[in-house]
Amino acid sequence: MKILLVFAHPEPKSLSASLRDVAVHELEAAGHEVRVSDLYAMNWKSQIDRADFPALASGERLLPVAASKNAFTTDTLTDDVKVEIDKLLWADTLILQFPLWWFTMPAILKGWVDRVFAYGFAYGVGEHSDKRWGDRYGEGTLAGKRAMLIVAAGGWQEHYGPRGVNGPIDDLLFPINHGILYYPGYNVLPPFVTYSTDRYNEERFEAAAQDLRERMRTLETTVSIPYRHQNGGDYHIPTMELREGLETPGVSGFALHLRRVAD
């Protein structure tokens, strides 16, 4: 396999960095090719702005969607973005690794998504009409590839449980797993999440490392989250609302977009 790991923590001696090294070593020991985009080490530019679109005339309005479409089409994206796009096309598996800050990814990683997931590449792909709303949610440029998250959370696991005050971790990560990874086509694996990171000791680290090694060993065989295909008949077009009666009785919210287990 060819694996791209995008890493977002500012400290090379952090717990996240140690877990990254565990994952990379396990994958390389199994003969896989691994590339790491260490965003802080790369001094990655976090925010999208005019500098991302050198073809934009001075004085011309910056409409991010239109500018992104034009830059991708005319191959005028900046070099740092082009390199990341090439890595994504090269890899058959993408891993995003980050500490959970304010219940989502750090700004620098969000900026990687905002800048690299260009129109024509990660969105705005395929026919958009009253009959078809693009190639997305299970189709798209990155279809057939796999993706997963490696997340370190400061709070207790129970705080992120089905009744925990922070909200269930699967719901907190849905905008990333479904909205960012599944959207351009990735098959998304269940995330690896470790909790209570401020209370880590040698023993807990070794247990987490063992779990992570097992996840890396099974990267090719782990069953992906059964999100529904947008264009497989489950949704009305163009309103993209789930057809009546398809859901597991009693289910609502994000979980509607999971296929029923019996399906």
One-letter identity of residue 230? Q
121's tokens: 């590449």
Nearest to 157 by CA among 143, 138, 172, 177: 172
Work out how close the CB of 152 gets to a copy of itself at its nearest, in angstroms, rounded to a whole number. 11
Contact stretch for a copy of itself (CB under 8 A) within 76-84, 90-98, 170-178, 213-221: 170-178
Q: Which of residues 120-139 bind a copy of itself (CB under 8 A)?
A: 137
Nearest to 121 by CA among 133, 130, 113: 113
Q: Which of residues 73-112 bind a copy of itself (CB under 8 A)?
A: 99, 101-108, 110-111
Q: Which of 86, 158, 206, 263 binds a copy of itself (CB under 8 A)?
A: 158
Nearest to 2 by CA among 37, 31, 22, 29: 31
What number of CA atoms fall less than 13 Å from residue 172's CA on the CB side?
22
Cα-atom radius of gyration of the chain, to the nearest Å? 19
Q: Which of 57, 79, 130, 253 binds a copy of itself (CB under 8 A)?
A: 253
Q: Which of 20, 152, 230, 258 binds a copy of itself (CB under 8 A)?
A: 230
With contact defined as beta carbons under 8 Å apart, do 217 and 30 qualify?
Answer: yes
Contact stretch for a copy of itself (CB under 8 A) within 75-83, 150-158, 188-196, 218-226: 150-158
- β-sheet bridge partners, residue 123: 119
Work out how close the CB of 223 gets to a copy of itself at its nearest, in angstroms, rounded to a whole number. 22
With contact defined as beta carbons under 8 Å apart, do 227 and 182 qualify?
Answer: yes
Work out how close the CB of 215 gets to a copy of itself at its nearest, in angstroms, rounded to a whole number. 24
Q: Which residues bind a copy of itself (CB under 8 A)?
A: 10-11, 13-14, 40, 44, 46-50, 61-65, 99, 101-108, 110-111, 113-114, 117, 137, 154, 156, 158-159, 161-168, 171-172, 174-175, 178-180, 183, 198, 228, 230, 235, 238-242, 250, 252-257
